[in-house]
């Protein structure tokens, strides 16, 4: 798995390519951003197409914690502290979550998947992947493209396979 | 805002509390009949240009609904439990109220809904009663509502519907893939699917353009003004008279009464939290099935020590819940259900109670998809699906456009122990008591949902679903309840009801309540058409009463 500096640099490149401003965190420090990003990338991995990392979910989370989810900062702080403690117990020689192998990250997340913190992080990851891009995630409508949501203001029927096929045909 | 502005020192003819589905109708009726009307609305005055397709804002935050951060709600299952802060109920909180963000399903009641007690007798543990009115009393007002607001549907397509004096003013909306699949499956099973009646314009109507099928109805305000909220239909007519003032961000804390026991007006906090008394000759409270009883319970006085209009002790009692379970099915080809209005086909075959089933209750089943992208990934997959990781991602990315839901809308029995009351400890941001909800299902409510769920799965299978599943429908999973009914029930006996057959309180002759609180039974959910028909009828009665000097 890529360590955080590599991720940051890749994201910076992506931003530059997209003509967006340089990434900038308002609430998270770069170290914890890298750790949270690593978990988000296991919640929605980049298998079979872009995942949380490519969609810029970490920027969504940073902005959420700076705005409408500011009340959740403490949950993140204590949740991450407990997760780091678990990491040290499970992988004593490790230094960060981001530097664990994918299998190790999955094993680590399994230890907290029933917690309120994980449910919050899962919710934020999904919102950052599939929510409106104006919140900083779902970059380039990455998440919407993955599920086949077009984001237009108007549609004309037929909408799907079965109404296009019409009432006449029997299944 | 184009209406008149009355000095707050003026006494007006009518004060209306709440500018929602009912309050908007009442305001328009009173103002066009020549009366001077002030409408006090808790929420802001938004326009279609204020809305957006922002799922986070409107479904993960209280974009158009009550915000528990400023108005906490507490919930307990029974009186024995300690109430916990929880968004147990949800209601629209802006000019137009719930008619702004509702899914726009617009079902009339059936004839039997008004006298189920006579038809089926007592139900143990519940207080099943007949309404003091019959369907025929409301029919002209259902028709009026459909024509003044703008409702699309196909008269005669539902063989179980009650007689109608006129067809719908607009033809039905186009069937989506869910509607086509449902239609075919239901017919295969010998059922009678029909196009959904919806308060959404299928064609341009009364100066508003037709729906463009954007798909963002439920929980969202309509940017096209095609959803027939009171905000875009009757409220502009009320303001146009020059006799109706809508005052947004005004939160009423008490209805005042005089020594004769008549309502004299209301005390409210304006947008700057200044307390103002607005005097009026008569008052309509249209604040919804939770806020209306709350306001009455807060309006205590020497003469009304248990709250206003509460000599029966029934204000806040018999809260009925938004019942029904949701089944889902996965299909081979894309349905693209996010396009178009939520519901296009349904059945009423199981609507009537059938004593042979062994319980009271019934319901309608509609084919729909009411998930938006993030909500689907978080809550739309089978309950046993992985919640994160590569298989989770594979499922939500491939299921999103291939899934449809069948939602049942089922009976909720009136039980005296299910209540809206004032929380003795928790206060809102204005220092007023929080709404405390005490509510649990009646065993027959659960039996109905379970029985219906088997039918929902049967239809999905007949439609060719590759896989079916159901979402949990216990009382907490079905929160927040958006249909708030029964808390100031209607009846002829002042000892056993709060309002009479015209929504006039038994105790206070110039005080009317018009909203879901009037309901004696829940029918099968989808209360908006009936709320609005009752509001038209109550306003009609109040106008005649006022004209003969009965209210001043």
What is the count of residue pairs from A and B with beta carbons less than 8 Å apart? 140
The CA–CA distances, whole Å, from B516 to B134, B166, B476 equal 17, 25, 21
Spell out which residues of chain B touch residue A134, defining contact as CB-CB under 8 Å: 54
**pLDDT, tens digit only, all 552 positions of chain B:** 567 999 999 999 999 999 999 999 999 999 999 999 999 999 999 999 999 999 999 999 999 999 999 999 999 999 999 999 999 999 999 999 999 999 999 999 999 999 999 999 999 999 999 999 999 999 999 999 999 999 999 999 999 999 999 999 999 999 999 999 999 999 999 999 999 999 999 999 999 999 999 999 999 999 999 999 999 999 999 999 999 999 999 999 999 999 999 999 999 999 999 999 999 999 999 999 999 999 999 999 999 999 999 999 999 999 999 999 999 999 999 999 999 999 999 999 999 999 999 999 999 999 999 999 999 999 999 999 999 999 999 999 999 999 999 999 999 999 999 999 999 999 999 999 999 999 999 999 999 999 999 999 999 999 999 999 999 999 999 999 999 999 999 999 999 999 999 999 999 999 999 999 999 999 999 999 999 999 999 999 999 999 999 886
Q: Which of B179, B180, B385 to mutate to test the interface with A (most CBs of A within 10 A)?
A: B180
Q: Provide, as residue numbers in chain A, all residues whose Cβ is less than 8 Å from the Cβ of B184.
A: 167, 170-171
The CA distance from B210 to the nearest CA of chain A, in Å, is: 11
Interchain contact, A144 vs B373, CB within 8 Å: yes
Residue A165 vs residues A62, A80, A169, B185, B215: alpha-carbon distances, Å? 45, 51, 7, 15, 21
Nearest to B29 by CA among B549, B510, B533, B484: B533
Inter-chain contact B333–A148, Cβ cutoff 8 Å? no
> Which pLDDT score is estimated for B272?
97
For B211, which residue in chain A has the nearest alpha carbon? A154
DSSP state of B348: -
Strands B244-247 vs B403-410: parallel, antiparallel or unpaired: unpaired
Instruction: Please determine, for residue A168, whether its predicted confidence score (pLDDT) is greater than 90.
Output: no
Q: How far apart are CA B485 and CA B21, in angstroms?
A: 14
Q: Write the CB contacts of B532 (distance below 8 Å, at least 6 apart in sequence).
A: B21, B22, B25, B141, B145, B149
Name the phi and psi angles at B323, rounded to 5.
Answer: -95, 150
Cross-strand bridge partners of residue B277: B267
Q: Is there a contact between B374 and A127 if contact means CB atoms under 8 Å apart?
A: yes
Question: Do the chains contact at A163 and B337, CB–CB below 8 Å?
Answer: no
| Look-up of token digits 């100031």 | B488
Across the interface, whether the CB atoms of A122 and B55 are under 8 A apart is answered no
Helix axes A57-66, A116-130, angle to 10 degrees: 110
The residue count for chain B: 552
Inter-chain residue contact A160 with B176, CB threshold 8 Å:
yes
Note the pLDDT of residue A15: 46
Query: How far apart are the C-alpha atoms of B230 and B226, rounded to whole Å?
Result: 12
Which residues in B lie closer than 8 A to residue A123 (C-beta atoms)?
A: 378
- β-partners of residue B37 are B14, B244
User: Which chain B positions have a beta carbon within 8 Å of A49's beta carbon?
Assistant: 397
| Bridge-based pairing state of the strands B37-40 and B11-17 | parallel
In terms of CA atoms, which chain B residue is nearest residue A167? B180
Interface test with A, best of B53, B388, B392, B460 (most A CBs within 10 A): B388
Q: Name the residue among A130, A151, A162 with its Cβ closest to that of B177.
A: A162
User: What is the token pair recorded at B489?
Assistant: 């029930």
Tell me the CA distances in angstroms from A111 to A37, A86, B104, B453, one per residue in order: 18, 8, 44, 35
**What ipTM score was computed for the predicted complex, to two decimals?**
0.95
- Rounded alpha-carbon distances, angstroms, from residue B116 to B122, B447, B521: 9, 18, 8
A143 with B373: Cβ contact below 8 A: yes
pTM: 0.95
Mutate to test the interface with A, among B48, B397, B402 (most CBs of A within 10 A): B397
In sequence order, the 6+-apart residues with CB closer than 8 A to the CB of B97 are B18, B19, B20, B21, B23, B24, B41, B43, B91, B230, B288
- Say if the Cβ atoms of B334 and A147 lie within 8 Å: no
- Residue to test with chain A: of B172, B393, B463, most A Cβ within 10 A: B393
Contacts of A159 in chain B (CB under 8 A): 176-177, 213, 335-337, 339-340
Closest C-alpha to B369, from B148, B216, B152, B530:
B216
Chain A residues lying within 8 Å of B401, measured CB to CB: 147-149, 160
Task: Return the minimum-mean-pLDDT range out of A16-20, A161-165, B81-85, B113-117.
Answer: A16-20
Mark B190-208 as b/e (b = at least 16 C-beta within 10 Å).
Answer: ebebbbbbbbbbbeebeeb
């Amino acid at each position: 798995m890529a360590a955080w500096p590599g991720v940051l640099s890749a994201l910076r490149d992506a931003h530059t390519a997209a003509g967006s401003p340089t990434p900038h965190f308002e609430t998270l420090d770069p170290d914890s951003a890298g750790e949270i990003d690593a978990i988000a990338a296991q919640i929605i991995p980049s298998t079979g197409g872009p995942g949380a990392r490519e969609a810029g979910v970490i920027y969504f989370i940073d902005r959420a914690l700076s705005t409408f989810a500011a009340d959740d900062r403490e949950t993140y702080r204590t949740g991450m502290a407990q997760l780091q403690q678990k990491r040290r117990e499970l992988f004593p020689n490790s230094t960060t979550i981001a530097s664990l192998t994918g299998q190790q990250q999955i094993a680590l997340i399994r230890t907290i998947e029933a917690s309120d913190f994980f449910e919050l992080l899962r919710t934020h990851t999904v919102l950052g992947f599939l929510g409106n891009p104006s919140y900083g995630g779902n970059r380039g409508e990455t998440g919407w493209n993955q599920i086949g949501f077009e984001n237009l203001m108007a549609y004309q029927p037929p909408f799907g396979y079965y109404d296009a096929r019409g009432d006449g045909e029997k299944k | 805002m184009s209406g008149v502005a009355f000095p707050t020192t003026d006494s007006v003819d009518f004060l209306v509390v709440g500018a929602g589905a009912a309050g908007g109708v009442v305001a328009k009726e009173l103002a066009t009949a020549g009366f001077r009307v002030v409408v006090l609305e808790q929420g802001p005055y938004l326009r279609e240009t204020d809305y957006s397709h922002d799922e986070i804002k409107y479904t993960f935050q209280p974009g158009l609904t009550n915000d528990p951060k400023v108005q906490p709600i507490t919930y307990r299952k029974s009186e024995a439990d300690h109430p916990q802060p929880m968004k147990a109920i949800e209601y629209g909180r802006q000019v137009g109220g719930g008619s702004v963000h509702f899914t726009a399903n617009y079902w009339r009641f059936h004839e039997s809904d008004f006298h189920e007690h006579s038809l089926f007798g007592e139900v143990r543990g519940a207080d099943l009663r007949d309404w003091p009115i019959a369907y025929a009393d409301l029919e002209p007002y259902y028709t009026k509502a459909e024509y003044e607001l703008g409702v699309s549907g196909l008269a005669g397509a539902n063989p179980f519907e009650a007689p109608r004096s006129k067809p719908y003013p607009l033809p039905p909306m186009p069937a989506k893939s869910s509607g086509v699949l449902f239609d075919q499956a239901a017919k295969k099973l010998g059922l009678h699917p029909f196009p959904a009646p919806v308060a959404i314009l299928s064609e341009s109507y009364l100066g508003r353009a037709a729906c463009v099928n954007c798909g963002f109805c439920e929980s969202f305000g309509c940017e096209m003004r095609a959803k027939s909220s009171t905000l875009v239909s009757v409220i502009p007519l009320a303001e146009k008279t020059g006799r109706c003032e809508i005052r947004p961000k005004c939160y009423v804390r008490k209805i005042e009464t005089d020594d004769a026991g008549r309502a004299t007006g209301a005390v409210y906090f304006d947008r700057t939290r200044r307390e103002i008394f607005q005097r009026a000759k008569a008052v309509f409270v249209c604040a919804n099935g939770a806020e209306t009883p709350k306001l009455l319970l807060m309006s205590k006085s020497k003469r009304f020590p248990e709250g206003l209009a509460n000599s029966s002790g029934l204000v806040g009692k018999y809260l009925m819940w938004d019942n029904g379970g949701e089944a889902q099915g996965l299909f081979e080809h894309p349905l693209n259900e996010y396009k178009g209005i939520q519901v296009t086909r349904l059945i009423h075959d199981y609507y009537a109670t059938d004593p042979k089933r062994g319980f009271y209750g019934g319901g309608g089943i509609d084919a729909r998809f009411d998930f938006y992208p993030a909500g689907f990934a978080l809550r739309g997959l089978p309950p046993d699906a992985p919640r994160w990781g590569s298989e989770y991602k594979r499922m939500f990315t491939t299921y999103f456009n291939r899934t449809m839901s069948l939602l049942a809308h089922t009976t909720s029995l009136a039980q005296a122990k299910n209540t809206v009351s004032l929380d003795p400890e928790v206060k809102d941001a204005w220092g007023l008591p929080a709404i405390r909800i005490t509510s649990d299902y009646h065993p027959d409510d659960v039996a109905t949902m379970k029985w219906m769920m088997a039918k929902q799965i049967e239809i999905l299978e007949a439609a060719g679903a590759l896989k079916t599943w159901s979402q949990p429908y216990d009382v907490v999973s079905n929160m927040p309840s958006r249909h708030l009914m029964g808390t100031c029930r209607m009846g002829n006996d002042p000892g056993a009801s709060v309002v009479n057959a015209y929504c006039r309180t038994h105790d206070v002759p110039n005080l009317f309540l018009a909203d879901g609180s009037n309901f004696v039974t829940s029918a099968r959910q989808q209360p908006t058409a009936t709320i609005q028909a009752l509001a038209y009828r109550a306003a009609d009665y109040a106008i005649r009463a006022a004209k003969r000097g009965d209210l001043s």
